[in-house]
Amino acid sequence: MLKYSVQNKAEPDTYALPFQVTEQESVLSTLIIPASESEGRIVIEVSLAWENPLLNWDIGELDIRLRRNDERGPMLDWLQDSCYQEGFAELSYEETGEQAEPYVYCLTVQSADRRAVVTGPLIIRGSVYGDDENLDGQ
């Protein structure tokens, strides 16, 4: 059963999009699940649209990382995506929330030779699911 949900979203041509991804790992978004809501199964889902700015038949490359706390925190999940012109990447991570502190997730991106531009939409969603064993008398 869904107990709590939080989402950050950016549409194309709004906020800081398009975002030129560089050789340096950069923070794209941060998501916080408060300690009061974190007990249960936590599912983090990321989706983002991006383009290869070179358009010279060289493959664009985008590294997407989900880290704990900040861009130097432990890496929780990682995805490398590539495309010739336009790409759409999805990442999903799951863990059990048990600590009495907020869960902070940091979405970062990196691209060798600046071969990626995040155009959007960009969505990072966190959902906390509680124990549903006692539902419907089961």
- What is the 3-state secondary structure of 42-66? EEEEEEEEEECCCCCCCCEEEEEEE
Higher local confidence (pLDDT), 78 or 58: 78
Number of domains in the chain: 1
Residue 97 lies in a domain: yes
Cα separation, 32 vs 69, whole angstroms: 9
Higher local confidence (pLDDT), 129 or 101: 129
Residue 135 lies in a domain: no
33-63 residue pLDDT tens: 999 999 999 999 999 999 999 876 788 999 9
131 pLDDT band (50/70/90 cuts)?
Answer: confident
Residue 138 lies in a domain: no
Residue 137 lies in a domain: no
Higher local confidence (pLDDT), 102 or 54: 102
Residue 80 lies in a domain: yes
Cα separation, 28 vs 21, whole angstroms: 9
What is the pTM assigned to this prediction?
0.90
Q: In CATH, what number is assigned to the domain containing residue 25?
A: 2.60.120.660
In which domain, by residue range, is 31 found? Answer: 2-130
Residue 136 lies in a domain: no
Q: Which has the closest alpha carbon to 17: 118, 101, 137?
A: 118
pLDDT at site 54: 82
